[in-house]
Amino acid sequence: MNPLRRSYEARVLVVPLGAGGAKVTDELVTMGVEGVQVLAAPDPVAALTKPIGEGAWQPPSPASTTQVTESADMVVLVGHDLSDVPEDVVREVCTAAREGGDLIAAVLVAPENWQQPAGTTAMVTLRQEVDMLVEVRGPKLLAALLDVLRGGARAEDYPELAEAATR
């Protein structure tokens, strides 16, 4: 548990979109991200997840992609090559997240191929399905966003942070 977090830490599910999204997601480990689950292999019966760092929440297992998604508080779709986005996975995950009342974000890290036909349709699908679509230049900004989504500083443990926040 990060000592700079509030008492509640959101259960964040990261969903890599294609090979480029998976590569970016793998880089999160070296950036100190921890406590999130990655949907490593979507499946209608037995989806596979993998934790990043210590203290990651545990989704139900065995569980379908829909059940794993429903157990999260927030879903962050991560893409890079828009021509490689599995639109069926996007729709399935987003439908389950919406039904569970979850925040759904898509983060495009240095996106490529958005002007190609497959990339264009993927962009349309993402815009229709997510609550928030963000483009960042590199994985460090994705790591920072995930940290913010999980929670904030504990005022009782770090009074100087609480004091700075009220100025």
Q: Which of 77, 122, 127, 135 is nearest to 102 (CA)?
A: 77
* Average pLDDT over the chain, rounded to an integer: 88
pLDDT digits (tens, 9 = 90+) for 39-75: 999 999 999 999 998 788 999 999 999 999 999 999 9
With pLDDT > 90 as the criterion, what percentage of the chain qualifies?
72
Is the separation of the CB atoms in 149 and 76 below 8 Å?
Answer: yes
Q: What are 37's two structure tokens?
A: 């689950």
Among 78, 85, 41, which residue's Cα sits nearest to residue 63?
41
Q: What are phi and psi of 62, to 5 degrees?
A: -70, 150
What is the structure's pLDDT at 154?
45
Question: Are the beta carbons of 43 and 66 closer than 8 angstroms?
Answer: no
Count of C-beta atoms within a 10 Å radius of residue 3 = 8
* Separation CA 80–CA 111 (nearest Å): 5
Closest CA to 154 of 1, 48, 6: 6
User: What is the reported pLDDT for 166?
Assistant: 53
- CA distances 32 to 1, 3, 55, 140, Å, are 12, 14, 13, 10
Helix (H) or strand (E) holding 40: strand 36-41
**What are the beta bridge partners of residue 51?**
37
What residues in the chain have per-residue pLDDT under 70?
1-7, 152-167
Radius of gyration of the chain (CA): 16
**Gap between the Cα atoms of 167 and 82, Å rounded:** 42
Pair of tokens at residue 49: 């997840």
Q: So what's the architecture of 12-166 in CATH?
A: 3-Layer(aba) Sandwich (3.40)
